[in-house]
Amino acid sequence: MNDKLLDKIKLLPDLPGIYIFKNEKDEIIYVGKAIKLKKRVYSYFRVSNQNKYEKVRRIAEETQNMDFIVVQNENEALVLEANLIYENKPVYNIMMKDTRRYPYIRITDEKFPRIDITRNRGESGIYFGPYTSMWLVKKLVELLQRIFQICRYDCNYAKKNRVCFFYHLKMCSAPCQGKISREDYMKNVDGLKRFLDGDTFQVREELERRMYKLADNLQFEQAKNIRDILSNMDILYTNQAVEVDDGVNLDLIAISSGLAALFSVRGGMLLGKLIFDFNDGTISDFITQFYYVKKHKRPPLCIVDGISQREKRPFKGDFKYLGKPRNKSEERLLMIAYENINEEIKIRLSSTQSIKNAKEILGLSKLPKRIEGIDISHTQGLYTVASLVTFVNGKPDKNEYRRYRIANVEKPDDFLSMETVIKRRYSKHPTPDLLFIDGGEPQLRAVKKALEELNITNLDFIGLAKEREEIVFPDKRKRLYLEPDHPVKRLIVSIRDETHRFAVNYHRVLRERRYKKSRIDAIPGIGPKRKKMLLEKFKSFKRLSTATEEELLEVLNNRKVVEDLINWLHNN
């Protein structure tokens, strides 16, 4: 500890507050809260604590400076700590990591708010979730549109001149066409928010009252529509895999073996079974990270296991109840949360074992913790693209996916395309533990040639032949056939399927973009149908401009259109 830092710590008061540790570059590396600042900060620099806790030792070694903020109470400290972590994202505060990107329901903050589904919380609006199942979220949003008739897509109020398709399906109230006042529309939005917050009983009772009133007035068609909505609510709720008491709004949190499980129940419906990596922290740390740092909505009840009265103090007033299960139903749900952690551990151990097996069975030089897979896609040589997917510890890491346009290949040539993408990728990026190629021996020869030109000799790579899905090696080893249910075979096939999916999707996007916009659009007498026919035949405007009259007639089958086309090409 340097003298400047020691002098600051000596001057710290024994009051509640926030302490901020900084490194030699004056970057914030850790933010914490304390009832007594001086006592808490000193604890990081005691040798006994550093020997006991690795994280404390690392923080103490890197800290070169610090700041502090005195507050009135623990609750203020909690909120301030969360805001500072959210804004600065200090390296030692990032304890909770999603095992996957969960979907959310978003209510936008526009003049006429829309309901939306997203996995990204970066845009403005009010977010509900996260939810486990995209299927459930889509069904829930469809149900909510039928109940509250909230817009799903941007109406573009200034330009739209007719009602949308959803209005005719009774899933939108068409504010863009003045079919509903903003005051009434916002009442529907408020009802939607209450429903997503868990107030489902009030919504259901209102729908039933409306249905019976319509039936009494002999408006049977409208009454039937509401009955169908109520039936869909029942179907959606009964499709849960876990039985939950009606009307309950709560979260359950279980922590074990470096993982945290959170069950989210709203209106008696289990909407989320979420798993997070949580290697370093307590229950109170998780609550702080999830509800205050990541700013998820807090339920009235939070059932946790093993939280002390002292740890609960900062959250006083934010939950109606925070503590251990109060009845058999909550005990059962918490037990299921722990079971979900155990299942996640089994899945991870299975992936780890598959990686270990792959090293032995495939004769690799190292454990294939990072595997990259490459596939080529094109249509008769047009718009050749390559996809690169990355699997880390047996699971896809979509943040590392990359796409490449192969512009230097005009004719169909998978081997030249493969050479090109290998050179582009590994002349700039480090090689993985294992490279997977979707193809057989010819593709592997192209990869070997490209790697030799890059002077890369220590990269393990394999292919998968299409005939019997046999594993192919770049050396003289024979092809290896594994049964479909073999763990290594399942891992390789999943990588193959993902590379193919990613490549085909990118190629499809480029192909559709090409058909949407082309210089051919400027030619008079050539509509979308003829444009598509010409592009499929000649591939580009350049080739079209050099086509003979006979070639054009073969495609268009109309001499007058061909003559006008030739004249236009000549003049332009």
pLDDT of 322 strictly over 80 = yes
CATH class held by domain 518-571? mainly alpha
Write the pLDDT tens digit of every residue in 498-510: 888 887 776 565 5
In the chain, which residues fall in CATH 3.30.420.340?
A: 370-512
Q: For 217-327, where are the alpha helices, taking DSSP H only?
A: 220-238, 283-287, 309-312
pLDDT of residue 456: 92
Q: What is the CATH number of domain 370-512?
A: 3.30.420.340
Rounded percentage of the chain residues whose pLDDT exceeds 90: 15
Cα–Cα distance for residue pair 349/339, rounded to 1 Å: 15
Write the pLDDT tens digit of every residue in 472-508: 999 888 999 888 778 888 888 888 888 888 877 765 6
Q: What is the dihedral of CA 114, 120, 121, 123, to 10 degrees?
A: -60
In the chain, which residues fall in CATH 1.10.150.20?
A: 518-571
Reference 195, options 268, 138, 111, 300; nearest CA is 268
Which pTM does this prediction carry? 0.58
pLDDT of residue 100: 66
Alpha-carbon Rg for the chain in angstroms: 31
Please report where in the chains the tokens 């922590």 appear, as a residue.
255
Reference 383, options 506, 484, 501; nearest CA is 506
Write the pLDDT tens digit of every residue in 124-173: 888 988 887 777 788 788 888 888 888 887 655 444 567 777 777 778 88
Hey, which CATH number is domain 250-343, 1.10.3470, 3.30.420, 3.90.550, 1.25.40?
3.30.420
When pLDDT is averaged across residues 83-87 and rounded to a whole number, the result is 86
CATH class held by domain 3-94? alpha beta
Output the average pLDDT for the chain: 82
In the chain, which residues fall in CATH 3.40.1440.10?
A: 3-94
Q: Which of 133-137, 231-235, 275-279 has the lowest mean pLDDT?
A: 231-235
Confidence of residue 208 (pLDDT cuts 50, 70, 90): confident
DSSP string for 135-165: HHHHHHHHHHHHHH----S---TTT--S--H
Per-residue 3-state assignment (H helix, E strand, C coil) for 199-215: CHHHHHHHHHHHHHHHH
